Chain A
């Protein structure tokens, strides 16, 4: 076994009295793309929120480079190198594109690297440079998703967690976003990806987990799951038959 960059061990998460995550364990190797897939309400978003400290696990442990972050607050988690692009982008829409990016570099680990990060963000997303003085709220859906990702990488994360980055985007933008995720990964950013676009996600994932009602149902390599008849029947086939 290699060194796990991120390790979730036997985590239980409850909203009030309702348990939504049951004894989930996943691990993310450095430099890889790990996909977390499954139906709506399976607990994918909750798991990301638990890792980033927005909610805290009732039981279990989360380790990052061997250090526990189970009890850390979100502002502390981002400062040790885990950036979370939440579902729905959650941009500051009354702030300009540049202001959003500046806040992305708010963690102390990122501030000295601001100029360099901004250049990287603008070279990955040239459209943001052209729109840097515009309010984030005035961007198109695809541009918003780009800004959300750009803002997250301003923090110089070791791991980037993306929650449904393709949600609500046109097919062309979906393709662009997946290409970007791939490109970021080539720049040594480890990616933990939550997606409903299961086919696309499994295609780029090294390792994948299928969550079902708060439990890990199947796990394995991305290609492996893509070929798995059970996965095809339950998730991918279902999506195709809808079209």
Chain B
């Protein structure tokens, strides 16, 4: 079974870039879904099986912090691994993410290799925990 991946970013070009990198990666990918903010992301997760979330932080309506916080408080969604892809440079916010259990943090601008490294690490961690 391929990985079902949800990409949450308000930038259409960023969603397309990440989708393209993942499609060319050779990873076994099942469904790839998209959301423009955290609220839409949660709705997708509640409606479909998602194995991995790749999310931005700064988004309108509901930002990435709030989305991850709600995921961690939800019985069903709490264990879905999250990779954050963001321009965030504040050490305080990065620390907050790590405290929320986010281990995959990729800083924009990124190379395809950085995304794939984060995906492989996070998926490997999740497989070892289960």
User: Are A and B part of the same complex?
Assistant: no
| B interface residues, Cβ below 8 angstroms from A | none
| A interface residues, Cβ below 8 angstroms from B | none
